[in-house]
Structure 1
């Protein structure tokens, strides 16, 4: 005989109607498992959506994984929700749902709303709580300012499992708390404003980097429990460092315990494989037209912003969501009702997602990884946009890396690769990414993309970084790039921290730390990062010398910054450069300085502008340009 599962519900009729309408954004307060006391008895309440099930039961160690022991109660309202209270259970209990589908299949599924899970390859859910006594109130009160579009944002992208490991135990992952103890002082030393974690949600296959998620509400147990991740985030906040999470609403894997075929039907994924299967990643695409799925996804976004105090979501693979023909050949996709290739359901979902976050979490940012020319990704929905705060500038990344890969003798023929970005650079709020995708699968590390001998490679990379930090938009650099990691990123091992004993790498690390300090302390570099008023070329057609000169401008013209790039290994003595103001100009940063392992070509620390018309400016300065370098000047 089945054991008693008491009829108990946390879901009101209003909750259910919101869920069915796609407008319930806090399902994590209602679904899943949670420890409760009912009528003076401690136990655990369960709720799961499985509308095409004959029966749903909870199985676990507590009942010997017997699918006939603890049957949940199907709601009377045809919502497809099964729920109930099992006395005697508590946090820490391991469980799954046994689903007897209308098709006759018998499925064992992890809880889609589980807050914790077993360490893979085990795949059961664990009853847990996200209660935490937060002490980051000062950050939370001020985070609107930290995340504002007119504030500096320098993001350190990292993967938790391969950032750093204990040299004595190289096979072991550091815990969230161990990472906190190492990461916080490192972020402070390096001067980053934000860290972006590649997906922390539970995923069965570690080499997927976290992008094949089975537990959307569960922080990966590889590194600890929910409160351990909260400690890491809190520690960063206490040091005035924001936290961005990669979020993956674009696809999910077909693992047996996951969302795929959840109740014997295509419940979360689109039934039509032309819309529901992703050929690139061999995974399944959410059905964005299904109201309950929209409630699930937006609730998941809210969950991380609410329960984990996350400051932003970088939304993965947005392009794959927007286009019905993404990575598909003719005949493998079907046009929308208007005859186009746009996925109208996904477009509507993304707009609703951004509108909801803008309303309930106006102090955070959403950032789109979107690689096409889709119009208005980072424009408000009431102006016809998708509503994101920022968009990755993939075109800038490809063009810039392509330029810097060229031998300097050929760069005069590729000048447009560095200048083209300003043609479209203010159509969106762009973030400049040098991300993990650029240092894997045979693409080489950033420093080994550079031409020349070792000294030239590092000089080129310093010049590239200076260009990125002084160009338009916000900034993102993947871990290892800050000290010139020489090997490609390997998810199965730590970064090569031992390289810091060598001068080129130690110099690169000092240089990136200085770049962050300069960027964050000079308003001209960030106040108008998304406006054409904040940038203008002084010289961008000097192909003979491969020299670029531009001005960055904030609200106060007195704070103007001038940047000079000499992207050849030739020292240019007495080179004249136009500047926007008379008076003294002071050296802020020279990438060729010897403390960064540069050549140390002498550049005056202070230069006085003369009334000599040059480069379309009424005044100019004369200085020596170091080889393969970037120079930042400010008004004295």
Structure 2
């Protein structure tokens, strides 16, 4: 193959018919980058937050906003009784940019403010697009921007923190629902109570959801209104910075959900008709409206929109020192039909007229920028389509993400739990699904995330145990349904985590089989917080079976972390026995053996291996995890030849039904 082809194509012969398309998206991105930066850099270009928005200077205040359709703009707030006054009128600078300069005494820290924007036939109140602090009145529910200019900036204790090279073990979390009480919890509470828990459990990366301000709490943070403002319902900017700072001090990276796929339609506290037009930030007509999400879709062809979004990326990396992003809604961005009701069964589905090349250009620019600003940061794509090249470096012809979410795996687990009886589970298919990925792309593997915990869906533990979770979870209450559920919960998570193709993710509470779904306060539930919290005490109660799952997850994650298991790329099948429902695989020095048989245990089950000595390092059947303690974990296990010394060796193991063993190969004594 010609070396002029992108490495992405060279590494996959099936992409050769689409090499022209891939080269075209490269050329478009390079052309757009040159158009944006000239002889500069993306890092310099994406500094809009230092120019736009409200800033305190040595001589006073300056605020700038981009509103090309506006005819007049006034700053209104608590300082002028929310009235338009001549001294607070903006001046046009050209190209749709407006500016207002004020004396130092005109504004003080804590003042509330907004814009009154006039256009040809109307006017309206607007919260500045570049506002970095937005608050909601608890009585009126009205949002306003707030002057955030404390006497002293936050002083970082770990300003030079750099993420380690260890693969991410991600703890996905939501600040507001991280506590036990029926209310919105805070940055400080998360810092004090959750960070030590996450660290102790072995995770090295915290993924925070719902950080940018969003008017509706129940949107889970996915209907963003103010892209530069950390949600004030959880606390102050200082408190979020302190949370990130302390996580860094513990050696944990912190990434955030980034929603650049769409924006809330709200006009006062969002970008909807910000200057009186729909098409300032978004596409006009049907292309600008998401048919499933009731939101507006950004126009990535406009330089000003790219400036806004790219500056937003740099802002979170620089101002709050986040260590990367999980990009939400990538599938929706990549395709004109948003990937809705589409199967994506062949390469033609990825490279053709349905692919939005403005979005591929944005992704290449965004991922280049992220590495320029913070080289060791990570970018994860939430994409269900499986587009080739998504998590391939820009230099190789890809779109530049470090990881893609392995979104097919949770669907697979749900499917077999729902549709197949235990004796119909195909261990060959399970292993194939666990390890099936493009060799040139890393994935974030997971058994379930927040998606599976939402009301209307079910977590794995709920599908396995259902109502028995409420009545039979004391350790002194025998229940076969619960026993099955706990056993399979451990095995499913162990299989998913130990075959992970680069990174692993867990949503908070799922590690111990949290018994409640997530249902945010809404009209349909009487605005209740009952199901919008995490009940940690049941995981720590030694009398409850949740404790078994919690302890197992902790040991599993620590095993993966301490042995740097996910740095080993090869996951090699050792054997599969479909009739017996047993399979085994190697990853480095570790042997993983799974017996998914629901009823049959096996004595002296032979695993074909080379000569070796093994020790059990994790056992789902251990009594401390709710098992039956049928496997001897104290002895060493030696492979034995089937015939002569040079014949095939077998590791003979006792495999109880529904049990998984992790064994580590240790030094094999030499034959004298």
Please confirm whether the aligned pair reaches a TM-score higher than 0.5, indicating the same fold.
Answer: yes
- Whether 2:507 is the aligned partner of 1:478: answer yes
Match of 2:154 among 105, 116, 132: 132
Once the two structures are superposed, the pairs formed by residues 78-477 of structure 1 within 5 Å of their partners are: 78-88=95-105, 89-102=107-120, 104-119=121-136, 121-129=141-149, 131-137=153-159, 140-143=160-163, 146=164, 148=165, 151-166=166-181, 170-171=182-183, 173-257=184-268, 258-326=270-338, 340-405=353-418, 409-413=422-426, 415-433=428-446, 434-450=448-464, 453-473=481-501, 474-477=503-506
Cα distance change, pair 495–613 in 1 and its aligned pair in 2 (3 A)? farther
> Among 606, 609, 621, which residue is 1:592 paired with?
621
Alignment of 1:537 with 2:573, yes or no, is: yes
Q: Any conservation in 2 of the 1:22–1:291 contact (CA below 8 Å)?
A: no
Q: How many Å apart are 1:437 and its aligned residue?
A: 0.3
In the superposition, relative to structure 1, how do residues 15 and 386 fare at CA in structure 2: closer, same or farther (>3 Å)?
closer
Work out whether residues 276 and 286 of structure 1, in 8 Å CA contact, stay in contact via their aligned partners in 2.
yes
Q: Distance in 2 between matches of 1:539 and 1:267?
A: 58
CA distance in 1, matches of 2:452, 2:300: 30
Are 2:533 and 1:497 equivalent residues in the alignment? no
Q: 1:239 to 1:339 in 2, by over 3 A?
A: closer
Q: Report how far residue 582 of structure 1 moved.
A: 1.6
Contact 1:367 1:391 in 2 (8 A): yes
Partner deviation per Cα, 1:444-477 (whole Å, 9 max, x = no partner): 2221222660111011001111112211321101
- Superposition deviation, residue 420 in structure 1: 3.3
Deviations 1:271-320 (A, max 9, x none): 33332101111000111111011011111111111111111200001000
Q: Matched residues in 2 for 1:329 and 1:577: separation?
A: 45
The 3-state SS of whatever aligns with 1:184 is helix
2:12 corresponding residue in structure 1: none
- Secondary structure of the 2:371 match is helix
Q: Which moved more, 1:624-633 or 1:604-613?
A: 604-613
For each residue in 1:224-267, what CA deviation from the matched residue of structure 2 results, as whole angstroms up to 9, or x when unmatched? 11001011111111111111100000011111221111101134
TM-score, with normalisation over the residues of structure 1? 0.87
Any idea what SS the aligned residue of 2:143 has? Answer: coil
Q: Distance in 1 between matches of 2:494 and 2:421?
A: 17
The Cα offsets for residues 77-122 of structure 1, whole Å up to 9 and x where unpaired, read as: 43433332344112211100111013x2202111111111112622
Q: How does the TM-score come out when normalised to structure 2?
A: 0.82
Q: CA deviation at 1:133?
A: 0.4
Deviations 1:120-150 (A, max 9, x none): 622110111493100014xx3442xx2x3xx
Number of equivalent positions: 589
Q: Within 1, Cα distance between the matches of 2:142 and 2:642?
A: 73
| Partner residue in 2 for 1:556 | none
Farther-moved stretch of structure 1 (241-250 vs 600-609): 600-609
Moved more, 48-57 or 445-454: 445-454
- Whether 1:37 aligns to 2:58 is yes
1:18–1:84 distance in 2 versus 1, CA, 3 Å: farther
Task: Give deviations 1:508-529, integer Å, cap 9, x for gaps.
Answer: 1111110111001113x2113x
Structure 1 residues 22 and 498: alpha-carbon distance in aligned structure 2, compared to 1, 3 A threshold: closer
* Cα distance between partner residues in 1 of 2:381 and 2:352: 26
Q: Give the distance between the partners of 1:339 and 1:566, measured in 2 at CA.
A: 44
Question: Corresponding residue for 2:82?
Answer: 65
Q: 386-395 or 463-472: which moved more? A: 463-472
Contact 2:423 2:598 in 1 (8 A): no
Whether contact under 8 Å (1:58, 1:95) holds in the other structure is yes
CA distance in 1, matches of 2:602, 2:220: 48
| Contact 1:535–1:552 (8 Å) recurs in 2 | yes
Distance 1:613 1:519, change over 3 A: farther
Aligned-residue offset at 1:619? 2.1
User: Which residue is 2:658 aligned to?
Assistant: 628
The change in CA–CA distance for 1:328 and 1:164 in structure 2 (over 3 A counts) is closer
For each residue in 1:338-366, what CA deviation from the matched residue of structure 2 results, as whole angstroms up to 9, or x when unmatched? 97001111110111000111222111000
Question: Matches of 1:165 and 1:286 in 2, distance apart?
Answer: 37
After the TM superposition, which of the residue ranges 418-427 and 380-389 deviates more from structure 2? 418-427
Q: Write the distance in 2 (CA, Å) between the matches of 1:129 and 1:626.
A: 63
How far apart, CA to CA, are the structure 2 residues paired with 1:162 and 1:551? 38
C-alpha deviations, 1:179-236, integer Å up to 9, x for none?
2110122112211111111121111100001111111111111111100101111111
Tell me the secondary structure at the aligned position of residue 580 of structure 2.
coil
2:336 is paired with a residue whose SS is coil
The superposition leaves residues 21-52 of structure 1 with CA deviations (integer Å, 9 ceiling, x where unpaired) of: 997211111111122331xxxx4221111111
Tell me: CA distance 1:366–1:73, structure 2 relative to 1, closer, same or farther (3 Å): same
1:67 Cα offset (Å): 2.4
Q: Which moved more, 1:184-193 or 1:402-411?
A: 402-411
User: Following the alignment from structure 1 to structure 2, what is the Cα–Cα distance between the partners of residues 114 and 15?
Assistant: 23
Instruction: Tell me the residue number matched to 1:608.
Output: 638
Does the 8 A contact of 1:35 with 1:90 survive in 2?
no
Show the counterpart of 2:13. none
Q: Name the Cα RMSD after superposition.
A: 2.8
Counterpart Cα distance in 2 of 1:579 and 1:127? 68
Gaps of 5+ in 2: 1-34, 343-348, 466-479, 521-528, 667-672
Judged with a 3 Å threshold, the aligned counterparts in structure 2 of structure 1 residues 350 and 180 are, in CA distance, closer, same or farther, namely: same
